[in-house]
Amino acid sequence: MNSREIWWSVGRGLESFLGMIYDNVGNIFNYSCIVLGFVGLFYWLNLQRKFNEAAAKDPNKIK
């Protein structure tokens, strides 16, 4: 048995293990990443709006 056979068997084992995980998870992870991205975007845009309003009220601040 050489190292090539060992690595191929490790790869086949990981492939079957990760395949089981992917089949059970499906697209839930993808959808959750998209939703989390939009939530973060709207949070950031809300903070940016507040910072812009504060900057408009105080003209001495560096913009």
Question: 16 in a domain, yes or no?
Answer: yes
pLDDT, residue 40, reads: 98
Question: 46 in a domain, yes or no?
Answer: yes
Tokens describing residue 58: 């105080």
Q: Provide the sign of the torsion angle of the four alpha carbons 16, 17, 21, 24, taken in this order.
A: positive
Q: How many CA atoms lie within 13 A of 16 on its CB side?
A: 5
Per the structure, the complete domain to which residue 8 belongs is given by 3-57
- How many domains would you assign to the chain? 1
Question: 37 in a domain, yes or no?
Answer: yes
Question: 62 in a domain, yes or no?
Answer: no
pLDDT tens for the 63 residues of the chain, in order: 789 999 999 999 999 988 888 888 878 888 999 999 999 999 999 999 999 998 888 878 765
pTM score, whole prediction: 0.57
Question: 53 in a domain, yes or no?
Answer: yes
